[in-house]
Amino acid sequence: MPMYDWLKRGVVESFSPQSGQGRIRGEDGVEYFFHRDALRRLVAGYTQPVFRPHDPILEPTVQVGDALVFRPGFTANGPKAEIWGFASHYERADQEIAARQVKQIKVAS
């Protein structure tokens, strides 16, 4: 399924575990600031994956090279990821939705 129009994809270019800050290079070529506090879980919604609050205890470690999806925003200091999650979690949620829709079609037939 296509992503929401307001979501972007990118890859972590840098991340400091001490400060929790890093940079994402978006597919659009723009560099976005992000902070670990903006991490959200991506779960299967009704028709699209949705962002939910994450559990800090289960928080995965962010690494350079990780693929992310994020909602872009802008501050006085430049572009930033307002909220973000791991692209692999987005894809897993998207697959769950697709499987559920196929199951519903089979039941309706």
pLDDT per position as a tens digit, 84-108:
999 999 999 999 998 887 666 655 5
1-22 per-position pLDDT tens digit: 455 677 999 999 999 999 999 9
Q: Evaluate whether 83 touches 40 at the Cβ level (below 8 Å).
A: yes
Q: Domains in the chain, start-ordered, CATH in brackets?
A: 8-108 (2.40.50.140)
CA distance 88 to 76: 31
Q: What is the pTM of this model?
A: 0.82
